[in-house]
Amino acid sequence: DAGVIQSPRHEVTEMGQEVTLRCKPISGHNSLFWYRQTMMRGLELLIYFNNNVPIDDSGMPEDRFSAKMPNASFSTLKIQPSEPRDSAVYFCASSRSGGSSYEQYFGPGTRLTVT
Amino acid sequence: LAKTTQPISMDSYEGQEVNITCSHNNIATNDYITWYQQFPSQGPRFIIQGYKTKVTNEVASLFIPADRKSSTLSLPRVSLSDTAVYYCLVTSSGGYNKLIFGAGTRLAVHP
């Protein structure tokens, strides 16, 4: 299995530009999570989906952030317009929901730099 | 979700056993204890999970006392490659396996 795939791995953009981060979860996993990691705030859960439906987006910092999951094999996290404080590593993770296992599989992350 | 407290950092030497203790005084009956490991420039990776007593896998052991208010992750004979951040999480059963990460423990293994 290829694991969770994220693209791009690195993104450098200017303030005000739209940024789209992409994620392909592991086949068969029905939960998908977006996280953001910075030195100051650590690893934060932004939003998660179950069976392609957003369950909890309370971690999304503001309206500039939006996430979609049009099908079971693809999700996007969009920032429009981007700001320098959005610079961080964004991780996507997937898992099988339900039961008592909390094993999430994380992708390699997208390092975003907004100048 | 129960709050967890663990040391900010630890140092060890190759070949030693490392024990990282996490306190979770407000753990609920349905909560599990889960540990993740994160290497630099990588996403976190699941290590081990337990509910009570002891759990062991090929990577680590997890010790949970009867009151479940704390847990200890034990790494046998660490090597330089075990240098990483280790996160202790308390997670509720059922639902959507939501994880809330704290600051973690930064373990440095020295030659």
Which residues in B lie closer than 8 A to residue A103 (C-beta atoms)?
A: 46, 49
Tell me what pLDDT residue A100 has: 64
Tell me what pLDDT residue B92 has: 74
Q: Report which of A114, A96, A113, B41 is spatially closest to residue A105, judged by C-alpha positions.
A: A96
In chain B, the percentage of residues whose pLDDT exceeds 90 is 78
Which residues in B lie closer than 8 A to residue A43 (C-beta atoms)?
A: 38, 44, 87, 101
Tell me what pLDDT residue A1 has: 65
**Partner residue opposite A106 with nearest CB, options B41, B44, B94:** B44
The vertex-B84 CA angle with B80 and B88, nearest 5°, equals 135
Tell me what pLDDT residue B93 has: 61
- What average pLDDT is seen over chain A? 94
Mean pLDDT along residues B1-6: 83
How many A-B residue pairs are in contact by the CB < 8 A criterion?
66
Statement: residue B22 has pLDDT above 90: yes
Tell me what pLDDT residue B94 has: 57
Tell me what pLDDT residue A2 has: 82
Q: pLDDT tens digits, residue range B43-94?
A: 999 999 999 989 999 999 999 999 999 999 999 999 999 999 999 999 876 5
Q: Which residues pair with A75 in a beta bridge?
A: A23
d(CA A55, CA A69): 12
Contact A49, A75 (CB under 8 A): yes
Cβ of B95: how many Cβ atoms within 10 Å? 14
d(CA A110, CA A92): 9
B contact test, residue of A104, A110, A111 with most B CBs within 10 A: A104
β-strand pairing of A110-114 with A10-13: parallel
Q: Report which of B99, B33, B109 is spatially closest to residue B65, judged by C-alpha positions.
A: B33
Query: Using CB atoms and an 8 Å cut-off, which of residues 14-33 of chain A contact chain B?
Result: 31, 33
What DSSP state is assigned to residue A84? Answer: G
Q: pLDDT tens digits, residue range A46-82?
A: 999 999 999 989 999 889 999 999 999 999 999 999 9
In chain B, the percentage of residues whose pLDDT exceeds 70 is 94
Q: Report which of B40, B85, B39, B35 is spatially closest to residue B60, judged by C-alpha positions.
A: B35
The C-alpha of A74 sits at a distance from chain B's nearest C-alpha, in angstroms, of: 18
